[in-house]
Amino acid sequence: MREVFKLPPAWEKLTTSRRNRFIEIATSRTYKRLGLILSARMRRKIRGGIPPPNAPLTIALKGSSKPLADKGRLFKSITWKIEGTGATRQLRVGVIRTDDEGANVAKIVHEGAR
């Protein structure tokens, strides 16, 4: 996908604050589009199956050999979020959700917890 941003005709005449505002808007739009695209790709990849398949015990317990596919809570939690401001801004894509106590849900599912 190619993204093109057209500069206003009088770009050189704009004040620095107006230029910065234009750049801020263009960057935010780009992050939003990337967030939507990347989260959709993650879901598509999970639907297609991620190796390795589940262990025999896991298959017996949940009835499926497909990793990350059980009740769909984790799958439905895949989202994106823009963090930070200015030059420190970054895009996070994945399961960003935490529980009521602030624990990272995806990390717990992946690594386990006590």
pLDDT in tens, 48-100: 877 777 888 888 887 777 777 667 777 788 889 898 887 788 898 888 766 66
Which H, E and C letters describe the chain, residue by residue?
CCCCCCCCCCHHHCCHHHHHHHHHHHHHHHHHHHHHHHHHHHHHHHHHCCCCCCCHHHHHHHCCCCCCCCCCHHHHCEEEEEECCHHHCEEEEEECCECCCCCEHHHHHHHCCC
Examine the pLDDT at 2 and tell me if it is beyond 80. no
* Residue 39 φ/ψ, nearest 5 degrees: -70, -35
Looking at the chain, how many residues does it have? 114
Verdict on whether the full-model pTM lies above 0.85: no
104 φ, ψ (degrees, to nearest 5): -75, 110
CA atoms of 89 and 80, how far apart (whole Å): 13
Per-residue pLDDT at 109:
66
Check pLDDT > 70 for residue 33. yes
